């Protein structure tokens, strides 16, 4: 028999509410700085690659250590704010991506558990339908639609009647 209940840890209603409230608070706190860029905008502004990040950081370092070498045509206060915001956002994004990965992993285990249990129930339903137990034939007919026979089917083997 396969592994079941790979993730039997479940959040309480209070923790679900707290997490949803925290997400809402985060969305509210960041609303003024978040933008929906169109695909065209994304192509236009893009994302600076690692080499260009190193370049920006080097210019920042020069401005911090030898301001006399900095161009007077650059608004350095705004440059420094952008640099600080960018670093802050990168840290937040990294933490959120890590959290999303862990949430997806947890969801995957719950999905697997649900599917395995559903297969067990389908096998039981198939057996009971074969004994003409009341209600099971209709349930079997309703569930078997998910196991259409084709060359790529992952249907469980039918039990012999």
Taking only the tens place, the pLDDT of each residue in 90-105 is: 999 999 999 999 999 9
Q: Given this model, what pLDDT does residue 153 score? A: 54
What does pTM read for this prediction? 0.76
Q: Are 70 and 63 in contact (CB under 8 A)?
A: yes
What residues in the chain have per-residue pLDDT under 70? 1-3, 151-161
Q: Given this model, what pLDDT does residue 118 score? A: 97
User: Is residue 131 assigned to a domain?
Assistant: yes
Q: How many CB atoms lie within 10 A of CB 32?
A: 6
Q: For the chain, how many structural domains are there in total?
A: 1
User: Is residue 117 assigned to a domain?
Assistant: yes
Q: Given this model, what pLDDT does residue 157 score? A: 60
User: Is residue 52 assigned to a domain?
Assistant: yes
User: Is residue 39 assigned to a domain?
Assistant: no
Q: Are 22 and 42 in contact (CB under 8 A)?
A: no
User: Is residue 153 assigned to a domain?
Assistant: no
User: Is residue 93 assigned to a domain?
Assistant: yes
Q: Given this model, what pLDDT does residue 140 score? A: 97
Q: Given this model, what pLDDT does residue 159 score? A: 54
Q: Are 76 and 89 in contact (CB under 8 A)?
A: no
Q: Given this model, what pLDDT does residue 1 score? A: 46
By residue range, what is the domain housing residue 117?
47-147
CA dist 64 → 32, 50, 56, 82, 91 (Å): 28, 21, 12, 14, 22
């Amino acid at each position: 028999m396969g592994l079941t209940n790979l993730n039997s840890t479940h959040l309480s209603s209070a923790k679900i509410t707290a997490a949803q409230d925290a997400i809402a608070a985060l969305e509210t706190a960041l609303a003024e700085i978040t933008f929906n860029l169109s695909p065209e905008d994304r192509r236009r502004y893009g994302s600076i690659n690692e080499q260009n990040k190193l370049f920006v950081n080097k210019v920042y370092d020069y401005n911090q250590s030898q301001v006399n070498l900095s161009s007077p045509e650059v608004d350095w206060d705004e440059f420094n704010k952008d640099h600080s915001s960018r670093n802050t956002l990168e840290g937040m994004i990294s933490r959120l991506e890590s959290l999303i990965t862990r949430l997806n992993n947890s969801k995957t285990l719950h999905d697997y558990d649900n599917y395995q249990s559903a297969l067990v129930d389908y096998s039981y339903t198939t057996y009971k339908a074969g004994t003409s137990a009341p209600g099971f034939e209709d349930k079997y007919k309703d569930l078997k639609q998910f196991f259409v026979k084709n060359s790529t089917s992952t249907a469980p083997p039918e039990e012999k009647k």
